[in-house]
Structure 1
Amino acid sequence: MLELHESGILEGRPGHLLFAYDQAALEERRYYAAGVMVAWSLLHGGPGPCCLHQSLYQLMCGQSPPLEDFNWMDISDVDVQMKLQQVKNCTSIQSLTPNLCEWIAGCGIPDIYSAEIKDMPYIYTWVLRHCIYHRVASMISQFTEGLNSCGGLWAIIKAHSAAFMPVMTRTEHPLTLQQFRSLFEVSWSPLESTIGLRQAEETTVTSWEIFLIMVNEHQTALSFGNLLAFITGADQIPLLGFLRNLCIRFYDQDQGMFSVRLPHASTCTLELYLPRGMASPGGLKDMLTRALQESLGFGNIYADSSALSQ
């Protein structure tokens, strides 16, 4: 899904992407392939693209979003940006140049030649519809065809567009403390353990709970999304949820080692490993912060090679 953002079939501001007008990509059916990949991700419990412009997504779903306040800078083409800016800021019909009127008419609005100043807000929205939707209708159609190839998924998305908005667009819904806690279960040692394992694990879980409160109160650079990505590879809860609860397991520090063994995770099994007997919430915070910052997984490569050798 991250690769899709840089695939060339989408363009614009990150999180507000529009379909690129690329006839070669259309001929190669790359828009179709992208739709199929999105469908496969969703059907297997993974994330959606989370990158389409909300106004574009609403138009794709047959809705009429308000475009009067659309940011013309969300369109990549600088020449189109300039023309849109002129249309939006027009205060007199006489100020429209013949070239600009010809361009507006070419966007499917021949009435520009008889328009009045009161019509300009409507003309601006019609021009935007052309630029972000009608002009790339073939690309959008091929993309939704790819989605529909997997059990008619696009039809389902379109019928439940509000529910799928956070999946297809970047709709910010930060995880809450309650949501994050509810994802976990703890794999305890047996109560009858004779070497105090259970007590040491309870000490760590107490520190973990205090650490989560610190995250919630922004007393650390980490967020619940950062932690979730470290444990699962996804920074948001998938649309269909996880296959199972995330599991906290424990490990012992090797007493003979000079270095500290950091917390680690298995994204395949959805497990987080924390050190037994960690009585300091601040110490756990430092260890988890270092573990996330120096992680080699999911593109989070630490720039300082000396840190990796520690």
Structure 2
Amino acid sequence: MSLPCMLCGRQDDCPEKYGEKKTLHNLTLHYNCLLLSSGIWQRGEEDEGIYGFLLDDIKKEVNRAKKLKCCLCKNRGASIGCVTPRCKKSYHYPCGVEKECIFQFTDSFRSYCWDHRPVQHVHSSQLGGSSHCTICLETIEHTPSYHVLHSPCCKSSWFHRDCLQYQALSAGLHFFRCSVCNNKDKFQNEMLRMGINIPERDASWELEENAFHELLERYQHCDVEMCICPNGREFNKPDSKWEILRCQCCGSKGTHLACSSLMKYNQGWDCTECKNIVCTPGKRSRPGSLTPSETRGHLGYGMNQPSPKGPRKSVVLRPIHAISDILQDLRLQLCRNPIYLLVKKESIWDSSVKAFRKSSFSPFHTIHVKYKEFNLRKAYQEHNVSTSEYFHLLLKSLENSILFEGSERKNLSMDPDALRDNLYFEAGRMVAVALVHGGPAPGFFSRTLFYCLIYEPQHVQPILDDVADPDVLQAIRTIQSCHKINSLKSAVNQYFEYLQNTGSLHLVQAVSDKALLVKDILAYHVIRRVQQQLESFKQGLKTLGVLDKIQAHPTAFWSVLCMKQEKLTAKVMTELFTVAYPEDIYTNRQSDTSFWIDYLEDTEEGSTAVSLENILVFVTGLDSIPPAGFNPPPTVHFSHRAVPAADRKHNCLKLPILPSYIEFCKSLDQAICKTLPKA
């Protein structure tokens, strides 16, 4: 049988209500009864007596309490008295709790009777009405009382006293705070004043046996969207491409090295959730339409669409990084080990897919390209095949493939066969590899597709230009042209089946409702319809860490992915090419260099038979400067040779030393024109 407390006389053993019950040297006491008694203080250490109360002091307090009668239950042992001067009420701790007295578990542990207890003063504008207790979510009236407490830090937050007390006992001093705004100091001070007991101990969830046992377990699971490990997501083989690397920020997500195109275990990797947090220093206004003046320098943000509507990565406040520097950093992953791609020039897309899927292919190796004839057994090697030229042809083929739709600015198409064959992943991978290995800028992504790469797709709103299907375009224009509710309802009936099947059907009660219809049709047709294709494409773009860089530096990648390259100028070409001479040639080098510069300037003015782009194609195979720059840098070599020639593999233009500018210009015109396609 449980012994009664020597102060309150009750046998209850309820730590939540009365504190822990302890017996020592024939003294049985509730902790709260002892702690709040008016005639005793903790004069010992924590391990002396009972919680620091010395045995002699406890006996004296018990004897003192025997002389005092509780004004509530009329029994003796009333060791607690109201601290208000001239108030003579004495009571047991349990009786005081039942009578709604206030006990302050701080400082000198004062007690207040029901007549003198502290109250909360709430502004009249916050009184009346009801809301939900933010702990138990039950309805609560906005009237401060003993059982209802108002938050000192959140004007609209109200709590049940019992809810707060149980939360405080569970959370302890270190974790008890406002459940709405997370304020700790102001909230705790007010709750202590109003009689909430906040024990100075660790949280209950930290006191459980083996509370942190799971922290000793290493996370072993591949969480990327498309795991390519043949043995499954749980498979982990150290020192191989199937070793699982954990997120360097949270450690609670993982990826196989191969699944994220990582080459080394010590290479950093961030999971999607952490990447969103790291890349989001604060809330920003919505991104808006990009005017031509804005697209070259930064992403303009306004109120036009398309516009992400949720928390997003900041674009405006990021320092602008040069795209060449970003891609050069990614090139540091590449090793010098060569890998040869044998592709057909006439079917470069299909043959490239096969080459990329070979087990010997690795995006981390230096890529060399060989073209082969239609007969697979009769392959030949062109010594002047440049990697940049190959990627130019590949991206041009990709732009015009079935994977994209649209005229100039492309969005992903919905091709189930291509999705099943994983071609969208291959397309993303090829774009990533092309950018890092010196290929040209794609320049054909639509603004909506670009936003879907850097934001969550559900926060992106497409525009009318994104629609390539003429039937869908006609439906949208029909709905947009409605200026009366009857005509709008007629249009809805006309396209009822389509709207219902695409989840775009809404009840229309006003002409303004057509905006919501159009918005949902666009979102479905351009984004939701190709959600799987988009995710597969993004997985491919993660190769070599390209997608991470796009999301971290969207300003730099905007012009690369979405804008056609600017026209070349003579000044740009002069700075691009380095002029060199063999050591055994002694001639008027200044005159030869002047011929080259004059030729570039005349070409820009249209005085020669070619264009600056023709010259660059003649030397490198590209008509624009790739985002990562040329590797090796283009050079001009003067020598005693008969005609100009180009070595595309080394980006080298070999020019003859001629006595006059007219001869120089004529010879270069003829050499370049021979390589141009016939009109």
Measured in 2, the distance between the counterparts of 1:118 and 1:285 equals 65
Shift of 1:214: 2.1
Letter in 2 for 1:84: I
Q: 1:88 to 1:227 in 2, by over 3 A?
A: farther
Letter in 1 for 2:478: Q
TM-score, with normalisation over the residues of structure 1? 0.78
Matched, 1:158 2:534: no
SS at match of 1:114: coil
User: Could you tell me which residue of structure 1 aligns to residue 344 of structure 2?
Assistant: none
Matched, 1:167 2:560: yes
Shift of 1:287: 4.0
SS at match of 2:568: coil
Which one of the candidate residues 479, 484, 495 is aligned to 1:92? 484
Matched, 1:248 2:636: yes
Q: 1:21 to 1:143 in 2, by over 3 A?
A: same
> Is the 8 Å Cα contact of residues 4 and 49 (structure 1) preserved in structure 2?
no
Letter in 2 for 1:212: L
Question: 1:11-90 residue pairs with structure 2 within 5 A?
Answer: 11-13=405-407, 15-62=408-455, 70-71=464-465, 75-90=467-482
> Is the 8 Å Cα contact of residues 231 and 272 (structure 1) preserved in structure 2?
yes
Letter in 2 for 1:181: T
Measured in 1, the distance between the counterparts of 2:478 and 2:486 equals 12
* Residue range with higher mean Cα deviation, 15-24 or 201-210: 201-210
Letter in 1 for 2:574: R
Q: 1:235 to 1:119 in 2, by over 3 A?
A: farther
User: Could you tell me which residue of structure 1 aligns to residue 504 of structure 2?
Assistant: 109
Shift of 1:95: 2.2
> Is the 8 Å Cα contact of residues 410 and 446 (structure 2) preserved in structure 1?
yes
> Is the 8 Å Cα contact of residues 294 and 302 (structure 1) preserved in structure 2?
no
Measured in 2, the distance between the counterparts of 1:203 and 1:80 equals 62
User: Could you tell me which residue of structure 2 aligns to residue 8 of structure 1?
Assistant: 402
SS at match of 2:581: coil
Letter in 1 for 2:551: K
User: Could you tell me which residue of structure 2 aligns to residue 291 of structure 1?
Assistant: 671
SS at match of 1:136: helix
SS at match of 2:527: helix
- Structure having the larger proportion of residues in helix: 1
Shift of 1:53: 1.7
Q: 1:167 to 1:116 in 2, by over 3 A?
A: same
User: Could you tell me which residue of structure 2 aligns to residue 198 of structure 1?
Assistant: 587
> Is the 8 Å Cα contact of residues 204 and 279 (structure 1) preserved in structure 2?
no
Shift of 1:222: 3.8
> Is the 8 Å Cα contact of residues 228 and 235 (structure 1) preserved in structure 2?
yes
Shift of 1:102: 4.1
Q: 1:115 to 1:157 in 2, by over 3 A?
A: farther
Q: 1:248 to 1:152 in 2, by over 3 A?
A: closer
User: 1:246-288 CA deviation, whole Å, 9 max, x = no partner?
Assistant: 110124354xxxxxx3x2211110101222115225x544544
User: Could you tell me which residue of structure 2 aligns to residue 266 of structure 1?
Assistant: 647
* Count, aligned residues: 280
User: Could you tell me which residue of structure 1 aligns to residue 578 of structure 2?
Assistant: 185
Shift of 1:218: 4.0
User: Could you tell me which residue of structure 2 aligns to residue 139 of structure 1?
Assistant: 533
Measured in 1, the distance between the counterparts of 2:541 and 2:503 equals 29
Q: 1:292 to 1:126 in 2, by over 3 A?
A: farther
> Is the 8 Å Cα contact of residues 183 and 246 (structure 1) preserved in structure 2?
yes
Measured in 1, the distance between the counterparts of 2:533 and 2:476 equals 22
Measured in 1, the distance between the counterparts of 2:591 and 2:670 equals 21
Letter in 1 for 2:655: L
Q: 1:291 to 1:58 in 2, by over 3 A?
A: farther
Measured in 2, the distance between the counterparts of 1:229 and 1:267 equals 9
User: Could you tell me which residue of structure 2 aligns to residue 257 of structure 1?
Assistant: none
Matched, 1:237 2:633: no
Letter in 2 for 1:272: L
Q: 1:16 to 1:302 in 2, by over 3 A?
A: same
User: 1:66-114 CA deviation, whole Å, 9 max, x = no partner?
Assistant: 755x43xx64322122223223433334224213244345443333x22
Measured in 2, the distance between the counterparts of 1:208 and 1:125 equals 55
Shift of 1:221: 6.0
* Residue range with higher mean Cα deviation, 263-272 or 172-181: 172-181
Structure of greater relative contact order (alpha carbons < 8 Å, 6+ residues apart): 1
Shift of 1:30: 0.7
Shift of 1:175: 2.9
User: 1:31-67 CA deviation, whole Å, 9 max, x = no partner?
Assistant: 1111111121122122243222223222332286775
User: Could you tell me which residue of structure 2 aligns to residue 276 of structure 1?
Assistant: 657
Shift of 1:184: 1.2
> Is the 8 Å Cα contact of residues 33 and 143 (structure 1) preserved in structure 2?
yes
Q: 1:270 to 1:83 in 2, by over 3 A?
A: same
SS at match of 1:146: helix
Q: 1:231 to 1:202 in 2, by over 3 A?
A: same
User: Could you tell me which residue of structure 1 aligns to residue 163 of structure 2?
Assistant: none
Q: 1:228 to 1:146 in 2, by over 3 A?
A: same
> Is the 8 Å Cα contact of residues 187 and 249 (structure 1) preserved in structure 2?
yes
Listed as ranges, the gaps of 5+ residues in structure 2 are 1-394
SS at match of 1:85: helix
Q: 1:166 to 1:220 in 2, by over 3 A?
A: farther
> Is the 8 Å Cα contact of residues 228 and 236 (structure 1) preserved in structure 2?
yes
Q: 1:94 to 1:198 in 2, by over 3 A?
A: farther
> In angstroms, what is the RMSD of aligned CA positions?
2.8
Listed as ranges, the gaps of 5+ residues in structure 1 are 255-260, 304-310
Letter in 2 for 1:140: L
> Is the 8 Å Cα contact of residues 246 and 270 (structure 1) preserved in structure 2?
yes
Letter in 1 for 2:498: W
User: Could you tell me which residue of structure 2 aligns to residue 124 of structure 1?
Assistant: 518
> Is the 8 Å Cα contact of residues 568 and 612 (structure 2) preserved in structure 1?
yes
Measured in 2, the distance between the counterparts of 1:278 and 1:16 equals 48
SS at match of 2:402: coil
User: Could you tell me which residue of structure 1 aligns to residue 596 of structure 2?
Assistant: 208
